[in-house]
Amino acid sequence: MQLPQRVFVGALVVPMLLASVGTAFRPSGEIEPGHLVFAVRSSEIVLAGTAGSAHERQEVVDAVRVVTAAHRITDMITPYAGERMPVTAADAASLLGVVLDHGVTDFTGVVHKGRLTASARVADPERAGVLSDALRAAVPDLRVDEDFTSD
Please report the pLDDT score of residue 26 as a whole number.
Answer: 47
For 32-71, how does the pLDDT look when each residue is reduced to its tens digit (9 = 90+)? 889 999 999 999 999 999 999 999 999 999 999 999 999 9
β-strands 106-112, 35-41 pairing: antiparallel
Dist CA 151 CA 149 (whole Å): 7
Asked if the structure places residue 13 within a domain, the reply is yes
Whole-prediction pTM: 0.79
Structural domain count, the chain: 1
Kindly indicate the confidence band of residue 97, based on its pLDDT and cuts at 50, 70 and 90: very high
DSSP structural state of residue 123: S
Asked if the structure places residue 42 within a domain, the reply is yes
**Residue ranges of E strands in 14-142:** 32-33, 35-41, 44-51, 72-79, 83-84, 106-112, 115-122
Q: Are 46 and 12 in contact (CB under 8 A)?
A: no
Asked if the structure places residue 25 within a domain, the reply is no
For 102-118, how does the pLDDT look when each residue is reduced to its tens digit (9 = 90+)? 999 999 999 999 999 99
Print the domain residue range for 130.
3-17+32-150
CATH number of domain containing 144: 3.40.1520.20
Asked if the structure places residue 109 within a domain, the reply is yes
Burial of 88-100, coded b for 16+ CB within 10 Å and e otherwise, reads: ebebbbbbbbbbb
Dist CA 9 CA 16 (whole Å): 10
Asked if the structure places residue 22 within a domain, the reply is no
Amino acid at 76: M
Backbone angles phi, psi at 110, to 5 degrees: -125, 120
The residues, ordered by sequence, that sit 6+ positions from 113 with a Cβ below 8 Å of its Cβ are 33, 86
Dist CA 9 CA 138 (whole Å): 25
DSSP structural state of residue 27: P
